[in-house]
Structure 1
Amino acid sequence: MNKEKNQTLFGGSRSWKAEDWTASDDRVRGGKSQSFLECHNSTGRFHGNLDIQTLGGAGFASQRTTGEDRSWDLSAYAGIVLDIAEADDKRYTFILKDELLPRNPDTGREQATISWEYDFKPCFGESSLEKGGLVFVPWSGLKPTYRGKEKEHADPINLKTIKRMSIMMRSFFGDQEGPFSLTLRSISAATSSPVEPGRLEQGAATSAASNTNRWTWYRQSFTVALSPWRICGLALLATALFCVHRSSSRAA
């Protein structure tokens, strides 16, 4: 990964600032979840409590960037890198928006637009998209949703005018709840994935491909070997039916 061409958006060389973020929790829908972003110079800690009882199994707590006039041009990059210092074992969601509509004049609430979401579980292992606390969010991995449901036939995300970024904790249909904590060092736009396949990972990929090819060969061989048995079985079945028919004819 060419670090000179990456752009730090939050954290890193730019200190985390509380005024850059605001809570967007399910309290707007009558829920009781609550989130906070505790900012220090070197880290931003996203934490709080996810309540799913009030809304019958649903619930979300999130922090989003402030300001409706913000705009990032990320078209020169391949995705977002989340540099995670500490995390629990829960799943999170990173969200981008390329459009913000004026607030509803009757209710004062923000009107819904498409959200581009990427679910992840922080991993400090050796996976292809996550390594040593780094999570890579490729543009191709973003899923368009509208009002919490996947949006079919959505136009591609406009990377030239990203208006908002969010980090969310959600129930995933009742799978998780309670306290959560995710501490980030930085959020950056990256020209490539920070995780390049090492020897071990390449070996694992080769081994997996080899196993797949081996299984394909076994399956094909088994199918070929089975064909004569299938023919014999059909012949035996036909003989048995003929004998039954002949016995019935004699009895009549």
Structure 2
Amino acid sequence: MGTGVGEAMAIVIAPILVPQWFHGRTDHHVTSGRPWSSDLWETSDDRVRGGSSQSSLVVINPERARFAGHLDTKTLGGAGFASQHSVGELSLNLSDYDGILLSIVKADRKRYALTLKNSLPPNRPDGRERAAVSWEADFVAPEDADGDLSDGPANLFLPWSAFKATYRGKDKPDAEPLDLANIKRVGLMMRSFFGEQDGDFSLDLHGIAARRSLHDAVAAEPRPATTENHNQAFEEDNEGDDEEDLHKDSVLPQAAAQQPSQAGDWWRRLLCGLV
């Protein structure tokens, strides 16, 4: 599944034990960290506002977790979202890294979004989350994410430039820059993208890592800010930003499958289960 792209260092945000496809190479072995745990993920689906979508994060084994569910777009008139995000408040400093690496075992060809947040406002009196800016990068898994681990998982790199600020489903070009030293939440989302997709979805992940490349690597292209269809977003001020209309017009980043380097410390520090 792909070729080496040079040395790299990474904070592994979610999980890994020692990956079996490293074939005993001691320079790649993980020596600490926790496996995947569904207890460290929280559901945020459109059911909080009357929708019918649903999602879960199920641990298949300590090195593999499945983000899956059903995206319904009929109940809310064409909108819909299903998501999982980290529990509580993280404190991640990713300022020394170049982007996020998704290590994907198996996936459908649907479009997903990886989300980051700098702030988590206090909940409303009724317990709902208040809206906050979310930084999102859209992606489709590489074609070779087919479950065959003989050469390892398919890896997809999302540089920071691929993350765009959104607020309640709309691009927010006037947002403050993403503060990489202050990441409070990481999430995975499935949305309708203006009715482009619905139904069952499934994404099997080996890990999510913040990655610093020591050599040039092919990466996902940034998604341009949207300028259309903003009037289709739900703007009820009792909805948190994970409870937005996901009719968001976007151009999918063109991404390349990548393999971990065959030289150097690739997994530098483990923060397993934090996502």
TM, length-normalised to structure 1: 0.71
1:167 aligned onto 2:188: yes
- Offset at residue 195 of structure 1 (A): 7.7
Higher Cα radius of gyration: 1
What are the residue-to-residue correspondences of 1:69-80 with 2, within 5 Å?
70-80=90-100
1:109 aligned onto 2:108: no
SS class of match (2:213):
coil
Say which of 31, 38, 44 aligns to 2:51: 31
Alignment-derived partner of residue 52 in structure 1: 73
1:58–1:84 Cα change, 3 Å: same
Separation in structure 2 between the aligned mates of residue 31 and residue 149 of structure 1, nearest angstrom = 19
Separation in structure 2 between the aligned mates of residue 47 and residue 97 of structure 1, nearest angstrom = 22
Alignment-derived partner of residue 2 in structure 1: 7
1:156 aligned onto 2:177: yes
Separation in structure 2 between the aligned mates of residue 162 and residue 44 of structure 1, nearest angstrom = 22
Q: Could you say what the CA RMSD is over the residues aligned between the two structures, in angstroms?
A: 1.8
SS class of match (1:6):
strand
- Offset at residue 12 of structure 1 (A): 1.9
Alignment-derived partner of residue 202 in structure 2: 181
Alignment-derived partner of residue 21 in structure 1: 41
Separation in structure 2 between the aligned mates of residue 153 and residue 59 of structure 1, nearest angstrom = 26
CA contact (8 A) 2:116 2:183 kept: yes
Say which of 9, 15, 24 aligns to 1:11: 15
Q: When the two structures are aligned, how many residues end up with a matched partner? A: 189
- Offset at residue 168 of structure 1 (A): 0.5
SS class of match (2:174):
coil
1:142 aligned onto 2:163: yes
- Offset at residue 192 of structure 1 (A): 2.4
SS class of match (1:191):
strand
5+ residue gaps, structure 1: 126-130, 198-252
- Offset at residue 22 of structure 1 (A): 1.1
Q: Letter of the 2:193 partner, please give it.
A: F
CA deviations 1:201-248 (Å, max 9, x no partner) are xxxxxxxxxxxxxxxxxxxxxxxxxxxxxxxxxxxxxxxxxxxxxxxx
Alignment-derived partner of residue 241 in structure 1: none
CA contact (8 A) 1:11 1:44 kept: no
**Stretch of structure 1 that moved more, 185-194 or 75-84:** 185-194
SS class of match (1:123):
coil
Separation in structure 2 between the aligned mates of residue 167 and residue 193 of structure 1, nearest angstrom = 27
5+ residue gaps, structure 2: 1-5, 18-33, 145-151, 219-275
Separation in structure 2 between the aligned mates of residue 193 and residue 61 of structure 1, nearest angstrom = 35
Separation in structure 1 between the aligned mates of residue 209 and residue 215 of structure 2, nearest angstrom = 11
Alignment-derived partner of residue 30 in structure 2: none
Q: Letter of the 1:170 partner, please give it.
A: R
CA deviations 1:18-77 (Å, max 9, x no partner) are 111011100111100000101120101000000000001100000100013x21111110
CA deviations 1:145-174 (Å, max 9, x no partner) are 001111021110111110001100101111
- Identical-pair percentage: 49
Larger helix share, 1 or 2? 1
| Dislocated runs of 4+, deviation >2 Å | 192-197
CA contact (8 A) 2:98 2:211 kept: yes
SS class of match (2:109):
coil
SS class of match (2:96):
coil
Separation in structure 2 between the aligned mates of residue 189 and residue 11 of structure 1, nearest angstrom = 12
